[in-house]
Amino acid sequence: MVALFFYAKKGGFSMKNQSYLSVYKCNEFRVVSNEFIGRIEDTPENISAFVVSADFNSNYALVDDMDTVKVFTIGNFLDLVPDTEYLEKELRPVLLQMQFGEIEIPEVRYEAIKKSLEEFLGEKGLSSPISDFLDDKLRSNRQLKTQRGARKFYSDANKQRMEYAKKRSEAIKEYNTLVKEGKIIPKTLIERTLDKAQGHSDNPSVQAARRIAEKRGYDWRTGERLENAKIDNVQIVQLEVYKTGELKGYADFSVEIGDGKVEGLYRIYDPENGKEQTIVSFDNGYSSKEIIDTYSNTIETELKLATEDTYHSMIKADKNFDEIEQDDFDHDDIEI
């Protein structure tokens, strides 16, 4: 039996307006960490389902909107709780029935969280498309002075790259699964643009995000719609792919709409040096500093398809940008 520790007001958990509890990991001494798991519906049935379904070796703290811990799932015993009436009459009967198999354990109901794939990967330390193993090991590495040491170094580096790539791939699959289950709502393109616009003003990509946000009719500082904002008919503009150098890696593509034009942002991740290169291939005055040669045909094809999809989506949505689904004009993590 999983122990419960309650710190709740008299009357138990409020069920008004479908309230939720935030779930965090904690240790055996009830020290709550910053590792956020999600938000679950605040009902006896849902809390019991979470407790019974939780990993027995993991401890969690369920926190209300006032940042007060309501429930701990720790150990094999029940601790003395302030709200004994709620425990005995509402929660414990349901919990015991589930633990002894007398009633079916329902699926835990989570509140859907808005989160982009980039944010999800960042929380797991997997933002970069490649491992940073070489960054740490190349500094003052005496191994490289001998052939045996160099062979071992490159062998270890290759293993690290493969292991990191596997973890990142699994994380992407996990994100997609959570999206399908409704536990995560992907951020829309404009939401991602507004997030990007909050970066350092000297960063070219941040400057571009701010321009795009304003063209979309949003104040990049507050995220609010501008009073004079309007979205004109979309025109498919001539696509141009500038070429230079050679680059292999993973691509992240997105398209923005507004002021009668479609703007594209194409990022290529170089697995050799970990750098992010940006390509913009429209005649809208937005120029890129680093562009590629090897996969220009693939890029041009994806840009054209995305632009056409965007155009048709705008027509279906009656020119209302806010109602367009992200997938209509956004292609993430394309392997090229």
Per-residue pLDDT of the chain (336 residues; tens, 9 = 90+): 233 333 333 233 333 346 888 888 887 777 888 777 888 888 889 988 888 887 667 788 888 877 777 777 765 334 434 567 777 888 888 888 998 889 999 988 888 778 888 888 888 888 887 776 666 665 556 666 778 877 887 787 788 888 888 888 898 888 888 887 777 888 777 788 888 899 888 888 888 888 888 877 788 888 887 765 543 322 323 333 333 333 333 334 444 444 433 444 444 444 444 444 444 333 332 323 333 344 444 445 555 555 455 445 444 443 443 443 344 334 343 333
* In contact, 74 and 5? CB cutoff 8 Å: yes
pLDDT at 103: 92
pLDDT at 104: 92
Q: For strand 113-114 and strand 184-185, is the pairing parallel, antiparallel, or unpaired?
A: parallel
Chain centroid to CA 126: 11
User: Given the structure tokens 């279906």, which residue do they identify?
Assistant: 316
Taking alpha carbons only, the member of 20, 26, 24, 13 closest to residue 83 is 13
Question: For residue 44, which amino acid is it?
Answer: P
pLDDT at 138: 59
> Apex CA 72: angle with CA 68 and CA 77, to 5°?
145
Q: For strand 261-269 and strand 250-258, is the pairing parallel, antiparallel, or unpaired?
A: antiparallel
pLDDT at 79: 47
As beta bridge partners, residue 258 has 261
- What is the C-alpha separation between 239 and 241, in angstroms, rounded? 7
Q: What stretch of H or E contains 254?
A: strand 250-258
* In contact, 86 and 6? CB cutoff 8 Å: yes
